[in-house]
Structure 1
Amino acid sequence: MSESASESRGSRSRLVRWLGIPLAAVLLTLFFVYLGFPYDRMTRYDLRGVDQNQGLQVLVGSASPSVAWLGPGIALRDVVIVPSNNPRIHLDRVELRPAWSFSWFRAVPAVHASIEAPSGDIDATVQLENP
């Protein structure tokens, strides 16, 4: 009886070695890629498109990863939006992440935005009809 118990423990430890270690390695790799991703460079590239298409200038102080229980995202701090002929808009923090929405099944991306500004806060979900 003790032989069968030790055999089951041995097969369990082999299973942990063959599945657990590679799974932990993949999860740790994804975690460190997420933390080490060049968010500042990506933000500058994306904001150039906004500048050209919308006719406004967007300045970002810093960009970093944002981790929430609803999913990963990107957090922008000290955002200044400069329209061509209007006063500047200052935002303390803008956090963007994919939204939990059925629109994804229709190939319409949805983004959740949390915005903190001196005049108040905004939480909104935006569906991008023409991505």
Structure 2
Amino acid sequence: MASSYPLGPFKLVSVNTVPERAKRLIGRMVEDVKEKYIIIHVANAEKLEDVTTVVKQHMPDLLFTASMWTPEESQKIQEMARDIVGPQLKTFAIPQGLQVKEGPDAVVAYIKENLPGLLEAK
């Protein structure tokens, strides 16, 4: 049975070398899904070496890696974060190059399309 109120709140940390873009794209996504999910973008790590500090500071429920990271880099970032938060951390990697190839609308659409599976999985 679907609930009539949004799931969450979920604390989200993004890993994006362009923090303003991360803030803008995640802000759009959060606004678009607010009827179903409460997502709070608590921080962005700009560099690989910032991930541990940012994750320890915020202990997020969600971690998104941006499309500038290779699949291997995204996996490493996710493993670093899981080592701190634990296996309950939900992670999501935007496919490498999506922002460059298809633009910000495609990134927002891709996240929204995959969010239910990520947030509602048991």
Higher percent of residues as helix: 2
Higher percent of residues as strand: 1
Using structure 1 for the length normalisation, give the TM-score. 0.30
Q: Which has the higher contact order (CA 8 A, sep 6+)?
A: 2
Greater gyration radius = 1
